[in-house]
A and B are shown apart, each in its own frame.
Chain A
Amino acid sequence: MYSRKVELLHGAGGLETFEVVSKLIVARVPDALRRAMNGRGVDVMDDGSYVKVGDSYLVFTSDSYTVNPIFFPGGDIGHLAASGVLNDLVVMGATPVAFMDNIVVEEGLDLDVLDRVVESMLRVLRENNVALIGGDFKVMPRGSVDKIVVSGFGIGVSSYEPIIDYPKVGDKVIVTGPIAEHGSTILAAQLGLLEENKGLKSDSRPLVKTVLPVIQKYRPYISAARDPTRGGLAGVLNEWVYGREVSIVVDRSEVPVRDEVRGFLEAMGVDPLNVASEGVAVLSVDASVADEVVRELARAGERDARIVGEVVEMPELKGRVVARTEVGGLVLVSSNPLNLPRIC
């Protein structure tokens, strides 16, 4: 798009990723082969896909994980891979039942490291009653991969039609917990700043026991659900409204961000809305039950869940996410996954 080479930006989870995937991959798949068995597939781009079997739905999702460092406060790459895949099923409204793994290791990695990563991945599966039904294991020559890549494939079931994100006007946007925890922790780790920022800890965790029951209970009222990983909250919201007639207004002061995270990101010059979470879901919920949903989430353990915005119709702002400022003005919230400087 901007040059003939693949750039990091293309994989950052923003609009560029979306464009690359649509043009490079989806466009080449014939319409009829973009979905199967009365389900949805690459005809929509969501957290997962599904097929219909009898009266119920089988939901699938897959994801690859690379992270540096492999171990970080609050988790590790194995924990992250298992939680991430399960969360993708959760935000489709499906109960995770089975998991498959693909592990690629760089020659020379400590066996002990591998052992800990696998153990922590399996622990997440055990604790959530998810079966490991298969996988693959490979070793690559030194230098051809950065230590370890863990990919996961998840299968879930749902009796309701899974959630394909399409927020509707009037919906409230709910965030289930403080954002930007994971991304800021990884950034601090990479900068060697964990010592000075002891309050930072990744939120990597499955949402199966807390968020899933609430999603399932209020399924008819939920028009969209997503976990704000790469690209953060700003990325999810922008994707939701992109190319549509609706807009989302965010009240910045309502978005939960812990003080330690806010302080650290401010010094880094990074907007928390652009930073990844690994234990949070964003929901677009019918206004009539929004407060109830927040209360239910709190009861289930997500005590910081909060309404942070709403889906509105503003013709001149269609397809955009905006934030209200303290003085009452409206400012655009763009997705800026790589924190590119813009000021001239």
Chain B
Amino acid sequence: MRAKKIVVVGLVQGVGFRPFIDRLARRLKVAGYVRNVGGSEVEIWVEGEEGVLEEFVKRLVSERPPPAFIEELRVEDVEPEGYSGFTIKPSGYDFKARSNIPPDLAMCHDCLLEVLNPEDRRYGYPFNSCAWCGPRFSMIYRVPYDRENTSMRKYQLCGECTLEYRDPENLRRYHAQGISCPRDGPRLLLLDRNGSVVDEKSPIETAAKLVEEGGIVAVKGVGGFHLAALATSDDVVAVLRARKRRPRKPFAVMGIDTVVLRRLVYITEEDEELLNSPQAPILLLPKREDTPVSPLVSPGLSHEGVFVAYTPLHYLLLRATRDKFLIMTSGNLSGEPMCKNEECAFRELKNVADYFLVHDREIVHRVDDSVVRKTNGRYVLLRRSRGYAPLWTRLPQKLRHNVVAFGGDLNNTIAVGFEDKVVVSPYVGDLDEVETVSELREYLDFLIASYRISREDMVVVSDKHPGYVSTALAREYSRETGARLVSVQHHLSHVLSVVGDHRLNGRVAGLAIDGLGWGDDGTIWGGEVIVVDAESGAYQRVASIRPVPLTGDMDTLRPLRVFAGLMTLRGYSEEELARVLRRIGVGEKESGELLLVRRLVEKGLYRPASSTGRLIDVVSAVLGVCRERSYDGEPAIRLEAEAFRGEYADPPEVTLYEENGVFRLDTWSYVEWVLDKIDEPRPVIARTFLESLGENLGRLLIRSTRGLGVGSEVVVSGGAAVNEFIVRGLERVVREEGLKLLLPSRVPPNDEGVSFGQVVYCLVSEDCG
């Protein structure tokens, strides 16, 4: 007879872990107990034969409930105490320990089977859930995650549900906080735009019929409203675009399952697993040539964003349609956060949606759908929300202070750091919208309260950009709390987000390829090689791409302005510039504006910006792929789509020079090379430009960090670090040199990851005290 004490750390509470252990123990006939301890740990005691105990540990890991994940498993041999039988012990409640706030989990397979089984009492029930699945964060008012702390508290469990809840044998419903059934759970209603009830008997079927007929239905889901519309009709998509004022930004398509989605996109086994995971993110996958989806859904793109029905409600709705897939895009006006209640939906979407499919459960926190793509064979998060946030990320060591990081202004997230943990908020949005700023504050207050972050020992971190709203908010917050304020350079944060994610040590060479961030020298950065000491936070920017001239925010919306400025610095006269513009097909009217930009640059009224994003925009615009940006990253995204159809041909020579101790990649030669090749096939130029840029960035990184004692793991981050071809070229060059390239894996490489990097800065730097 032997005994083992097992401590499991991770997301193991509120996901049916204890009944699972209980059943496993009974099956293997081991004695002992299981109980929750602290905020995120489960403690197990087992006694039995050595072989059986080993089997127990093995199956504990391999057969765990689907949403559970194990960060740490500690197994210790102990003296047997002679337990007879196995019990679930009451929680060893430790009020000091903080727990992981569980994210929203996609409908599990068992719940779906119940919904589809006419014999089951939950047949056709749109809110079915269990310990393995269903909403969590989106309905939690406060921690701990108990029913009375969620918006399920107003639904009194019926007798049958109560029995399930109390039955330790019931794997999926024992102590499952969010369960309900048709008798006691939330109700669905279908309303018209005036708020009058259209259908309460079979709202889903009626809604599906209305969508079939070309209507747009706002659907209140788990973390907010979606707009559902036919994906196969050009007319419907055009109407949706016009009403939403969203000319080209892609819409996501939700399918009933991966079988249906296979008609739309190419799905590998690995992709399928991710699509069907409890996170069920939107995954960008290559479109099939014969896809039935309207080209207006993602105009000019090679990939479609698809996801599966992740709640019974969505499943039942899709099932009632002919296509079995629909556009399911966030219910908001362009730029504003997605609506999470009826008041907002009827205010903002009254001219967008024809009908509203709503329920009476309150959405406490807005949670957007997460978005994942694949870059050079690896998954990268583009948006980290549903299913992922606000789970914490563990750091290699403890923070010396509590940290509140305000991130950047666009694609903002905030982060809270304490002990050895960082909690990054779900996606917040762009901070020029007032609504978004209020959301930021809501998330902030929630995280501060949930984790009982004291002001006494707090550091507030902001970006260095003097004009950022987030910088102002951080300044105000530090004044309000009396906490020390620290600012971190934008691209250092990007690099540190990877350093923290992969727990790197020593001196690290990092590449930040990005849109715009405030540089330490008063210019704008965005294509930088930074060497950072992962022990002290001391850093040095050793190289960058050659800056382009930026005259204002308008340059980002109309990239040919940057082109005009660049050619001006290149010495082009007004006539020469006008000629080039004619040659690339720019009309008379637009040329007028561009010649004005020429004057601005001539007079020095610009800021140099070593921005990779703007450089890519210029190439995209010169090639005529995208000259007006209607959504974040559009010129670059469409250039990449173009490149997917081309081959890598002869790249131009790009030189490297030194300027005041900083290495520069003379990226301007790309622009002249593109002008030279303007009559050749666009996909080839696009592909060659991007991949060669990646290679040259790799060479720049290697050359500029030579002799600086950096490790063999180099990191890349920033908005452009998701570009397939840049990363391919970069990785090739880096690997030839015997180095390993790392991307962020737990936070997005774009500015959503900045807040995480800011906390990592405080992990190492003396600045934070």
Chain A residues with a Cβ under 8 A of chain B: 1-3, 7, 9, 15-16, 187, 190-193, 267-270, 316-317, 319-320, 322, 327, 329-332, 334, 336, 339-344
Contacts and interface: CB of A to CB of B under 8 A. Distances in A.
A340 B516 CA distance: 11
15 contacts: A2-B466, A191-B596, A191-B603, A193-B599, A268-B551, A268-B554, A268-B596, A269-B555, A331-B432, A331-B433, A332-B432, A332-B433, A334-B469, A340-B607, A344-B515
Given A268-B552, A269-B554, A344 B245 contact: no
B702 to A, nearest CB: 27
Interface in B470-513: 472, 476, 487
Given A342-B516, A343-B410, A193 B596 contact: yes
A203 to B, nearest CB: 22
Given A329-B333, A342-B410, 18 more contacts: A191-B605, A192-B599, A268-B552, A269-B554, A269-B561, A316-B441, A317-B434, A327-B333, A329-B335, A329-B434, A334-B472, A336-B467, A340-B466, A341-B553, A342-B409, A342-B465, A343-B515, A343-B556
Nearest to B719: A344
Secondary structure at the B interface, as helix, strand, loop or mixed, is mixed
Contact of B408 (A316, A327, A344): A344
B520 interface: yes
Most B CB within 10 A of own CB, among A187, A317, A340, A342: A342
Contacts of B751: 344
Interface in B504-559: 514-517, 520, 522, 524, 550-557
A71 to B, nearest CB: 18
A2 B488 CA distance: 10
A141 to B, nearest CB: 25
B162 interface: no
Given A319-B476, A332-B432, A342 B605 contact: no
A72 to B, nearest CB: 15
A2 B486 CA distance: 11
Q: Which 8 A-B pairs have the closest CB atoms?
A: A269-B554, A344-B515, A269-B552, A330-B434, A191-B599, A343-B556, A344-B410, A316-B438
A336 B472 CA distance: 13
Interface string B333-354: 1011000000000000000000
Interface of B: 245, 333, 335-336, 408-411, 431-435, 437-438, 441, 464-469, 472, 476, 487, 514-517, 520, 522, 524, 550-557, 561, 592-593, 596, 599-600, 602-603, 605, 607, 609, 613, 719, 751
A254 B487 CA distance: 37
Contacts of B553: 269, 341-343
Contacts of A270: 552
A9 B522 CA distance: 10
A340 B468 CA distance: 10
Contact of A341 (B245, B335, B437, B516): B516
A16 to B, nearest CB: 6
Given A7-B522, A342-B516, A342-B553, A329 B464 contact: no
Contacts of A317: 434, 437-438
A322 B438 CA distance: 13
A265 to B, nearest CB: 10
Nearest to B520: A3
A185 to B, nearest CB: 15
B434 A331 contact: yes
Contacts of B336: 329
B434 A344 contact: no
A116 B596 CA distance: 31
A251 to B, nearest CB: 15
A32 to B, nearest CB: 25
B552 A341 contact: yes
Contacts of B476: 319
A3 B515 CA distance: 23
Nearest to B613: A344
Contacts of B437: 316-317, 332
Contact of B517 (A9, A193, A320, A344): A344
B596 A341 contact: no
B39 to A, nearest CB: 30
Most A CB within 10 A of own CB, among B432, B435, B487, B613: B432
A7 to B, nearest CB: 6
Contacts of A16: 466
B138 to A, nearest CB: 21
